Chains A and B, each alone.
Chain A
């Protein structure tokens, strides 16, 4: 009897123990075998070699399956891989017209012309490219026709489509890093900004001139107008900007913009609802870390990690810095809660692509972060900071804290790469989110857990009718059982990357979804009840 009771207790404990994923890199078997060059591998002469590049999960041909788009630095090409539906991807770059031999940096997706097909923007040193999706068959470079040519060489980084004026047409935000050119930029060791721990390294961003961010307004006729000055977007001129994260952070129905900036204050543009933005990161507590110090912000992600109904922000930073988790107190006022959340210890990594996703469908958004140093030269120091490093996976404990489970989450997490862009999406629609990582000068990683998550799930595919067709900016409030979760459809995000535009929710033990509320950009409020779980659900915005 005593022995039986002991066995029962042990069984019960095991059943309650959080399940661990077993992430493996299946890129090779999925057909992702191309190497994506990005500058030097032993040393890097210029900063442009350090920041690329992004990756995307998009469904370009509307077959319901996520395809993969990976960006390349100079010497290679961006590549689009079509999802064959059997766990394999086929390179369709050439036939879709996406070949590009540039210093490509970031990617963001959105249906800018509302024709039902997802278009792409690629940012690069030199300019941006708008690729119009022609009926899911090919992409057409319409940059010039869209009036998106830039008058000078710019170091464009993060980007996002957003409908800042809720007119149903997607506008475009582009972050800029520094003013850079090969001729005038100093070489490694040439001035005090070209040294790292006694190593002569590529110069910058400190010591290089700042540039300003850009906002293009969609005119609705295939063209855009640069409204950077009129909107106030170009006003901040003291930040080196990289990752872009849009969201309605003050929950007033208008899309705001957070930008992770390197060695300088991060920016939070609050949408004033009259076509202008005011940059308010400092007073709102989202510019610095808890000590009031500017971090080397790279990527950014948002989720309501603590279930209080307000979107929070995570930012990846440099080595010898903590990552930053900003808790939204409401009204887009943030507190740095990195330490309280249990994220104080990972200080040796340079973080890039990041994202909240519920890997085990337990109903709380977990957090993934890809790493890799900017200086390959750092390996000469023989310290515990490495050019190629492993990723980090935090499990959300559901009590406002996270547990670092990186060491027990499978070999895919522990592989060392100089990782940059990361995208999240469920490419096989099985309810488990996969992670796509762009690794400098290597093949990408595609992380899939060999252990099926236990909880139920749903993927919401939203289609705007009055709003923009991609539903970018639509805010969802989902209740299943005792849990209510929120999320928002976003273009861009992570680090210069694009996640699946559909929204994935882990639902724990819930067997049905009680209620889904959608606030579409604009004024339409929609409620759906009693939805089935474990499937992809498409929801169309009701016509007025």
Chain B
């Protein structure tokens, strides 16, 4: 059985995490205690910043900057209790986006440190919405979701150790770790405990396919997908998987009705739409393939496979202009994303894509 991630008491947020956040541009007026305190904060001297800003606020109790940086300094030195209200206030009301981001991140850290996941989630979601490509924001969100997941799994292992769900979650953890043989074993245990549970045979079938490419694995996986279909005959995904296995077994003729059935069960199932469209295109029935592919694109406008197959179907049907239009779509979708990869290329002296 897989072990859940060890439960540890969260360490108090310390300076390092704050130091990593974006620094604000501040004008350093040595004689201005607020500016001095902010500078001390940026230098990582949080205790000094706290003292300076507390003094400054005695003279300027309404200085929002001073209040926010005092809260940040307190949070950085383990004073989340006294900092939380001001951090929340800054996060919700601060006009300066950088300060709002800093306050939000500190607030998530504080909530996490005190195991207040319910309070942390809306802050993290708001941060993700406002700063969608911010590495610090995404990192904090990932930590939060991981902690939430860990806590629940830990509960499950403690309180229901003999349940089939524990075997199921263990199998899923093994899958994530790439330990497919172990995942297969855990799924089998889960099925033994609850043979009627929906989705176990399906997951087992998937794990078998991930574990091995052998013909035997294909047979075993198909058996599991068929077992899932016995429990739930309208499971379009299991039906689709059987179709895929039949293709891998060089049995396209047997695969076709499985794809058709999957689509009949779930008309919005994009993969099934694509599979049936390919069947039609293979039979040179492009006029039937094209509407299926167009529908797939309507459902998933960024589906590269759908655009690619539609491009080819148009081409083969002699609709050259439409094919060219779809080609442009494929080109657009295939364009490498900007971001880390681009930055990495730049570092290596290469011109970034699209430049």
A contact set with B: CB distance below 8 Å: 179, 184, 191, 197-198, 206-210, 237-238, 265, 282-283, 285, 288, 290-294, 319-320, 329, 333, 335, 339-340, 342, 344-345, 347-348, 381, 383-385
Contacts of A207 in B (CB 8 A): 341, 344
Q: Which residues of B250-295 are within 8 A (CB) of A?
A: 250, 252, 274, 278, 282
Given A191-B344, A345-B248: A238 in contact with B353 (beta carbons within 8 A): yes
Of A179, A206, A292, A383, the most chain B CB neighbours within 10 A belong to A292
Q: Are A265 and B215 in contact (CB under 8 A)?
A: no
Partner of B349, one of A209, A348, A383, A385: A209
Contacts of A319 in B (CB 8 A): 213
29 A-B residue pairings within 8 Å (CB atoms) = A179-B348, A184-B348, A191-B344, A197-B178, A209-B345, A209-B349, A209-B350, A238-B353, A282-B327, A282-B330, A283-B311, A283-B327, A291-B305, A292-B305, A292-B330, A293-B304, A293-B305, A294-B334, A319-B213, A320-B213, A329-B316, A339-B252, A344-B248, A344-B249, A345-B250, A347-B213, A347-B248, A383-B180, A383-B211
B contact set with A: CB distance below 8 Å: 177-178, 180, 211-215, 218, 247-250, 252, 274, 278, 282, 304-305, 307-309, 311-312, 315-316, 323-324, 327, 330-331, 334, 336, 341, 344-345, 348-351, 353
Assembly CA distance A209 to B308 (angstroms): 26
The 5 closest A-B CB pairs, nearest first, are: A292-B308, A209-B350, A348-B213, A291-B305, A342-B250
Closest B residue by C-beta to A319: B213
* Besides the known contacts A320-B213, A342-B250, A344-B249, 4 further A-B residue pairs in the complex with CB atoms under 8 A apart: A282-B331, A285-B312, A292-B308, A345-B249
Contacts of A342 in B (CB 8 A): 250
Contacts of A206 in B (CB 8 A): 341
Q: Are B350 and A210 in contact (CB under 8 A)?
A: yes
Closest B residue by C-beta to A192: B340
Closest B residue by C-beta to A265: B334
Closest B residue by C-beta to A336: B312
Assembly CA distance A342 to B331 (angstroms): 30
Closest A residue by C-beta to B349: A209
Determine how close the nearest CB of chain A comes to the CB of B315; give it in whole angstroms. Answer: 7
Q: Are A208 and B348 in contact (CB under 8 A)?
A: yes
Determine how close the nearest CB of chain A comes to the CB of B17; give it in whole angstroms. Answer: 22
Q: Are B336 and A238 in contact (CB under 8 A)?
A: yes
Assembly CA distance A292 to B308 (angstroms): 5
Assembly CA distance A320 to B214 (angstroms): 12
Q: Are A383 and B304 in contact (CB under 8 A)?
A: no
Q: Are A283 and B178 in contact (CB under 8 A)?
A: no
Assembly CA distance A208 to B344 (angstroms): 8
Partner of B282, one of A265, A292, A340: A340
Assembly CA distance A282 to B250 (angstroms): 26
Determine how close the nearest CB of chain B comes to the CB of A336; give it in whole angstroms. Answer: 9
Determine how close the nearest CB of chain A comes to the CB of B339; give it in whole angstroms. Answer: 12
Assembly CA distance A384 to B213 (angstroms): 7
Contacts of A265 in B (CB 8 A): 334
Assembly CA distance A319 to B274 (angstroms): 23
Contacts of A283 in B (CB 8 A): 311, 315, 323-324, 327
Determine how close the nearest CB of chain A comes to the CB of B232; give it in whole angstroms. Answer: 27
Contacts of A384 in B (CB 8 A): 212-214
Assembly CA distance A304 to B327 (angstroms): 27
Determine how close the nearest CB of chain B comes to the CB of A239; give it in whole angstroms. Answer: 11
Determine how close the nearest CB of chain A comes to the CB of B69; give it in whole angstroms. Answer: 35
Closest B residue by C-beta to A322: B248
Q: Are B315 and A333 in contact (CB under 8 A)?
A: yes
Partner of B312, one of A179, A208, A238, A335: A335
Assembly CA distance A238 to B341 (angstroms): 13
Given A285-B312, A292-B304: A340 in contact with B177 (beta carbons within 8 A): no
Assembly CA distance A279 to B102 (angstroms): 49
Of B249, B307, B312, B344, the most chain A CB neighbours within 10 A belong to B312
Assembly CA distance A179 to B351 (angstroms): 12
Partner of A290, one of B214, B278, B336: B278
Q: Are A198 and B177 in contact (CB under 8 A)?
A: yes
Determine how close the nearest CB of chain A comes to the CB of B207; give it in whole angstroms. Answer: 13
Q: Are A339 and B247 in contact (CB under 8 A)?
A: yes
Contacts of A339 in B (CB 8 A): 247, 250, 252
Contacts of A209 in B (CB 8 A): 345, 348-350
Assembly CA distance A198 to B330 (angstroms): 31
Q: Are A292 and B309 in contact (CB under 8 A)?
A: yes
Of B180, B274, B348, the most chain A CB neighbours within 10 A belong to B348
Contacts of B304 in A (CB 8 A): 292-293
Partner of A345, one of B178, B215, B308, B309: B215
Contacts of B353 in A (CB 8 A): 238
Contacts of A197 in B (CB 8 A): 178
Determine how close the nearest CB of chain B comes to the CB of A232; give it in whole angstroms. Answer: 17
Assembly CA distance A293 to B351 (angstroms): 24
Q: Are B315 and A285 in contact (CB under 8 A)?
A: yes
Contacts of A320 in B (CB 8 A): 213
Determine how close the nearest CB of chain B comes to the CB of A323; give it in whole angstroms. Answer: 13
Closest A residue by C-beta to B348: A209
Determine how close the nearest CB of chain A comes to the CB of B263; give it in whole angstroms. Answer: 17
Contacts of A288 in B (CB 8 A): 308
Closest A residue by C-beta to B320: A283
Determine how close the nearest CB of chain A comes to the CB of B251; give it in whole angstroms. Answer: 9
Contacts of B331 in A (CB 8 A): 282
Assembly CA distance A319 to B210 (angstroms): 12
Assembly CA distance A98 to B257 (angstroms): 59
Determine how close the nearest CB of chain A comes to the CB of B269; give it in whole angstroms. Answer: 16
Contacts of A198 in B (CB 8 A): 177-178
Closest A residue by C-beta to B212: A384
Determine how close the nearest CB of chain B comes to the CB of A352; give it in whole angstroms. Answer: 18
Given A207-B344, A238-B353, A282-B327: A291 in contact with B308 (beta carbons within 8 A): yes
Q: Are A344 and B178 in contact (CB under 8 A)?
A: no
Assembly CA distance A237 to B353 (angstroms): 9
Contacts of A191 in B (CB 8 A): 344
Contacts of B211 in A (CB 8 A): 383
Contacts of B215 in A (CB 8 A): 345
Contacts of B218 in A (CB 8 A): 345
Closest A residue by C-beta to B340: A192
Closest A residue by C-beta to B214: A384
Determine how close the nearest CB of chain A comes to the CB of B139; give it in whole angstroms. Answer: 15
Assembly CA distance A215 to B165 (angstroms): 61
Assembly CA distance A383 to B183 (angstroms): 14
Determine how close the nearest CB of chain A comes to the CB of B328; give it in whole angstroms. Answer: 10
Q: Are A344 and B213 in contact (CB under 8 A)?
A: no
Contacts of A237 in B (CB 8 A): 351
Closest B residue by C-beta to A342: B250
Contacts of B345 in A (CB 8 A): 209
Assembly CA distance A385 to B217 (angstroms): 14
Assembly CA distance A167 to B7 (angstroms): 75
Contacts of B308 in A (CB 8 A): 288, 291-292
